[in-house]
Amino acid sequence: MARPQTRPLSPHLTIWKWGPHMALSILHRATGVGLAVVGALGLVWWLTAAASGAEYYAFFLKQATSWYGYVVMIGITWAFFQHMFSGLRHFVLDIGAGYELKTNKSWSLVVPVLSIFTTAAIWLSIFSGKL
Amino acid sequence: MGSGTGIGRVRGLGSAKSGTHHWINQRVTAVGNLLLVLWLIISILQLPALDYVAVTTWLAKSWVAVPMMLMIVSVFYHLRLGLQVVVEDYVHEDGTKFATFLLLNFYAIGGAALGIFAIAKIAFTGAAS
Ligand code: HEM
């Protein structure tokens, strides 16, 4: 199908001034893809390891509790809460609320604070032995 | 289909008719993920230990195995819908797009089946002895 070359395009990335809502939008995508690949594979690996017997599960635990295991798990925790709080923001926008410039900007700034705070709270309490 | 005016090119095409369904299901599974993944995180944090015996004994309980299976379905359905949109945004060549969707479907259905089978195996063959 021949398309005329002069179809109007919407202004793209290069033309907008960066704002927190844009960073949040691309983070929602990045964390979604991260969870979908690393998170989902990790989850299935954990379950199949538990179904494979004590010996293999011990091997899994050794990987999970190595330094790179912790890096991945902390990363996944942050990605989940970032995506979750950002997803809740999506629900608000979906009902047509929160589009006023100031409101939109404040919530965009609150989401990363909440995700970092929750991730830190969980892992600090794990490492300090409170859990 | 005409190739001249704008209206001539779109007339009769309409939408693909499945966009709303996709959008709603993305939200439904998002709520599923919200409840079930938070349940998993809170449960894991409350387990006394995460060794083989503790984890398999816990997973074998029906009120753990069932929500866990539901979580697998919700997560893989949600990521199947989500990654589809990402692919549609960046992969434009028809052949490559077809192949990518094929892989995505294999990944989502295969991954979910593997997870559910692992849970069922632990639940039905009994926890670690
Ligand atoms: C934990 C497992 C989860 C995975 C693997 C996951 C994965 C994804 C992926 C890959 C996308 C597509 C991103 C894009 O189009 O840019 C997406 C979109 C979305 N996710 Fe999740 N997600 C998860 C949990 C959640 C939760 C808990 C919520 C809600 C609180 C949520 C809300 C959403 C929403 C609303 C969208 C659609 C965004 C849009 O329409 O642009 N997700 N998710």
Which pLDDT score is estimated for B7?
73
Which of B13, B55, B83 has the highest number of chain A CBs within 10 A, making it the mutation to test binding with A?
Answer: B55
Give the CATH number for residue B41. Answer: 1.20.1300.10
Number of other CB atoms surrounding residue B9 within 10 Å: 16
What predicted TM-score, i.e. pTM, was given to this entire model? 0.90
How far is residue B106 from each of residues A72, A95, B100, measured CA to CA in Å? 24, 34, 10
State how far the Cα of B56 lies from the Cα of B122, in Å rounded to an integer: 6
Evaluate whether residue A8 is within a structural domain. no
Cα of A114 to ligand 1 centre, how many Å?
A: 17
Evaluate whether residue A9 is within a structural domain. no
Evaluate whether residue B2 is within a structural domain. no
Residue with tokens 């410039």: A101
CB contact under 8 A, B79 and A87: no
Evaluate whether residue B11 is within a structural domain. no
User: How much is the ipTM here?
Assistant: 0.89
pLDDT in tens, A37-88: 999 999 999 999 999 999 999 999 999 999 999 999 999 999 999 999 999 9
Total domains in the fold of chain B: 1
Calculate what percentage of chain A has a pLDDT beyond 90: 82
Domain containing A58 equals 22-128
How far is residue B102 from each of residues A32, A110, B77, B105, measured CA to CA in Å? 20, 38, 15, 5
Chain A residues close to B50, C-beta within 8 Å: 61
Nearest 10 degrees: CA dihedral of A29, A20, A104, A26?
-10
- The residue count of chain B comes to 129
Does residue B87 contact residue B97 with C-beta atoms inside 8 Å?
yes
Evaluate whether residue A50 is within a structural domain. yes
State how far the Cα of A13 lies from the Cα of A27, in Å rounded to an integer: 15
Domain containing B24 equals 18-125
Total domains in the fold of chain A: 1
Evaluate whether residue A6 is within a structural domain. no
